[in-house]
Amino acid sequence: MKLEELIQTPMIGESELAKYWRVNPDTIYAESKPSSRTLETIASNVALVKSLNDHQPVKLIISIAKSPVPDKATRELAAKELPLTYSAMAMIAPNKLTGFIINLIYGMKKPPIPMKTFSNFEDAHQWIVNL
């Protein structure tokens, strides 16, 4: 599947933090927005994603946008909700430095779900559909 084709299909949802498309019954694609992450926006986004997949964890391919670092309470909420919302995550980093930082962060503490960083949609898609 090509990203250009996917984003020509109708979005299945949008929040302050991202736009969402359905890749297949088990997987969604998100284009994150450069918005600030707060307790309220994370909670709202989690509720939206859960509603998109009948409140079952879903595989996520996400294109990461640069955004401010959230506060500790927001990071803790996001970490708590991660395995309840997603079953796997393929992150598309906008550049090598961002990819390196993401890998460094998740290299220090094993994530609760399969996670991997990629430079393009096609590689991220290939990895996540084969889980």
Give me the CATH code for the 3-129 domain, please. 3.30.750.24
pLDDT in tens, the chain (131 residues): 899 999 999 999 999 999 999 999 999 999 999 999 999 999 999 999 999 999 999 999 999 998 888 899 998 999 999 999 999 999 998 766 565 556 555 566 788 999 999 999 999 999 999 99
Please tell me the predicted confidence (pLDDT) of residue 18. Answer: 98
| pTM of structure | 0.91
Strand spans (E) along the chain: 13-14, 18-24, 27-32, 58-63, 86-92, 115-118
| Domain range list for the chain | 3-129
